[in-house]
């Protein structure tokens, strides 16, 4: 029984309009209230990771227990922190608009 070959792509009927969602798709928000606050969280997170690894020869492997605390400071992983930095910097400067199923990113209107 070969069911994979029987599938055909679904296309809208002729003349039908494809509507975009009324609001942007909710996604994870890793942004902070301000850039300095976000940079402080990064300094704490990277400091915990670097410190826990650097102190292993001095204090032993117990210092590696500080590394998971960095995940709290990063609100996930270092990549999550970097995404949050981009979100924090661009907040209010960029706007996502979706029209007829096509989404674009443009500058937000100046008040």
Q: pLDDT for 22-36, tens place per residue?
A: 445 556 677 888 889
d(CA 4, CA 37): 51
On the 0-12 / 13-18 / 19+ scale of CB atoms within 10 A, 54 is exposed
pTM to 2 decimal places: 0.59
Q: In the numeric block, which tokens belong to residue 14?
A: 């002729």
What confidence tier does 39 reach under pLDDT thresholds 50, 70, 90? very high
Q: pLDDT for 52-93, tens place per residue?
A: 999 999 999 999 999 899 989 988 889 989 988 988 888 767
Count Cβ atoms below 10 Å from residue 49 Cβ, excluding itself: 20
Q: Are the beta carbons of 84 and 32 closer than 8 angstroms?
A: yes
Question: Strand pairing partners for 98?
Answer: 103
Query: Tell me, what's the pLDDT at 14?
Result: 62
């Amino acid at each position: 029984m070969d069911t994979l070959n029987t599938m055909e792509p679904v296309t809208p009927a002729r003349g039908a309009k494809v509507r975009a969602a009324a609001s942007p798709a909710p996604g994870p928000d890793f942004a902070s209230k301000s850039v300095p606050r976000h940079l402080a969280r990064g300094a704490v997170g990277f400091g915990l990771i670097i410190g826990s690894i650097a102190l292993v020869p001095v204090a032993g492997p117990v210092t590696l227990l500080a590394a998971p605390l960095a995940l709290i400071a990063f609100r996930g992983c270092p990549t999550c922190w970097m995404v949050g930095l981009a979100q924090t910097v661009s907040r209010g400067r960029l706007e996502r608009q979706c029209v007829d199923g096509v989404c674009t990113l443009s500058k937000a209107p100046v008040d």
